[in-house]
Structure 1
């Protein structure tokens, strides 16, 4: 869809630190992560909310989300992950996306207050994307 930054990333027209690009979806680092290694997973098609995702796409899309949750944890040595999705309200980009955020005990994340951080540079972001990609189990 014209003007959608996530569609631009899927099409390769907008730069992103990609973790994986598969038929069921594309995953890349959030540019304003809650914690470093925060990944966004998007379906290839422009869909706005979870209700728009065709039932036949649910297993593939959420299978990818599940694999990324495992990869974020193992690839970054995180204690766990926080997996979340907004539908319209608080959805900063109107394209269905799932957040996979690395967590550690005592990391300070409370409720739905999501402080944001930044990568020190592109090399650091690329290193996080590569670590998660290397830990990703095959489809």
Structure 2
């Protein structure tokens, strides 16, 4: 646990939260700045800074907890879908440096859903540039 970490303080009960679920490895609570009705966060109890640092067993536990919660939350809230989002690094919008998954129920009713896409997903990229970047990743993987 990091003494300076907001989410570690929430797990320790030093900062109040609306807890949704908890198990041996994970803690889930409502996001106080929700993108939609029912937006919550699932975190590992053990501190890790981000996706690049989290232990594989904690990552698996958080992902499985998020899936279990989403499977219940979507029908319970009448949501039309759900996003699981992780932001890794300040440039990727990470604002709390303790790994977390956002579980964001999605609604066609925009009064319940304020999240919008930051890019247009149906605009094709340059295939040669995509292949070149892909090859760099393949080479880095070994």
Greater Rg over alpha carbons, structure: 2
2:116 aligns with one of 101, 104, 110: 110
Q: Is the 8 A contact 1:38 1:100 kept in 2?
A: yes
SS of equivalent to 2:8:
helix
Trace 1:1-139 onto structure 2 (pairs within 5 A): 1-89=2-90, 90-107=93-110, 109-112=115-118
63 and 91 in structure 1: CA distance in 2 versus 1, 3 angstrom threshold = same
Q: Is the 8 A contact 2:81 2:106 kept in 1?
A: yes
Q: Is the 8 A contact 1:24 1:64 kept in 2?
A: no
Q: Is the 8 A contact 1:72 1:81 kept in 2?
A: no
SS of equivalent to 1:71:
helix
* Structure number with higher relative contact order (C-alpha < 8 Å, ≥ 6 residues apart): 1
Q: Is the 8 A contact 1:26 1:41 kept in 2?
A: yes
Structure 1 residue 106: Cα displacement:
4.9
1:61-108 CA distance string (max 9 Å, x none): 211011122122022111111110000121111110110111112536
Across the aligned residues of Structure 1 and Structure 2, the Cα RMSD in angstroms comes to 1.7
Q: Number of residues paired by the alignment?
A: 113
In structure 1, distance between residues paired with 2:5 and 2:28:
16
